[in-house]
């Protein structure tokens, strides 16, 4: 697998969608999101697509998980969302994937919590400073959307931001379309905090 991967299919998709494209996006922007609670940080990020919709910024990007001159174990996409309405830090992982973080060298592992929904707690590993943070972040509207989508992967919420990895999504235009359809709906669900 040559590096960088062929940008043309993603560049063409971004142009069709009216989005910005960067074959070699600024690493510092992504590194500011690290470390992730449930995912390993990749060696670099490539072929990013950027859109601003309403008051949110959406960035879809391929995490290149291999070192220089090496081919990654697998390829996927991540979505990064910035929105001022996101309030708490919590993360959840459903399933084990090549991006799953299993070691915490030099950092403290996040605290695993249960939110009190047996169906959710059986299938998801949820992390937050306090169980109430997890219940607030993964409130029933969010859980219902993830269930309806049969979601597998990683979701990390934090004040002002959201990171999503959907297992099985590849860095190809048809999968980008799926991701770009799902992530705004996830953001809307996340912002629909319970009033009581």
User: Is the link from the previous residue into 26 a cis peptide, with omega within 30 of 0?
Assistant: no
At 27 the three-state DSSP class reads: helix
pLDDT category of residue 1 using cuts at 50, 70 and 90: very low
Question: According to the 3-state scheme, what is the secondary structure of 117-168?
Answer: CHHHHHHCEEECCCHHHHHHHCCHHHHHHHHHCCCCEEEEEECCEEEEEECC
Mean pLDDT of 85-111: 78
Going from the C-alpha of 130 to that of each of 54, 89, 91, 147, the distances in angstroms are 31, 9, 11, 23
Q: How far apart are CA 126 and CA 138, in angstroms?
A: 9
Domain residue limits, the chain: 8-191
Q: How far apart are CA 110 and CA 171, in angstroms?
A: 29
In contact, 156 and 50? CB cutoff 8 Å: no
What confidence tens digit (pLDDT) does each residue in 28-51 have?
999 999 888 888 888 889 999 999
pTM of the model: 0.92
Q: Put residue 121 in one of left, alpha, beta given phi > 0 → left and psi -120 to 50 → alpha.
A: alpha
- Asked if 38 and 92 count as a contact pair (C-beta separation under 8 A), the reply is yes
Helix/strand number for the chain, H first, E second: 6, 9
């Amino acid at each position: 697998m040559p590096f960088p991967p062929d940008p043309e299919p993603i560049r063409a998709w971004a142009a069709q969608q009216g989005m910005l494209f960067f074959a070699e996006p600024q690493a510092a922007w992504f590194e500011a999101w690290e470390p992730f609670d449930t995912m390993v940080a990749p060696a670099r990020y490539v072929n990013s697509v950027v859109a601003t919709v309403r008051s949110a910024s959406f960035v879809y990007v391929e995490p290149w998980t291999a070192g220089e001159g090496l081919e990654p174990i697998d390829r996927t996409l991540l979505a990064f969302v910035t929105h001022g309405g996101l309030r708490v830090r919590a993360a959840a992982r459903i399933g084990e994937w090549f991006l799953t973080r299993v070691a915490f060298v030099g950092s403290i592992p996040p605290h695993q919590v249960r939110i009190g929904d047996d169906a959710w707690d059986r299938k998801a590993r949820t992390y937050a400073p306090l169980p109430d943070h997890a219940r607030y972040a993964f409130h029933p509207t969010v859980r219902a959307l993830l269930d309806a989508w049969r979601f597998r992967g990683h979701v990390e919420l934090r004040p002002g931001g959201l990171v999503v990895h959907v297992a099985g999504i590849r860095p190809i235009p048809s999968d980008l379309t799926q991701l770009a359809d799902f992530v705004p709906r996830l953001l809307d669900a996340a912002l629909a905090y319970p009033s009581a």
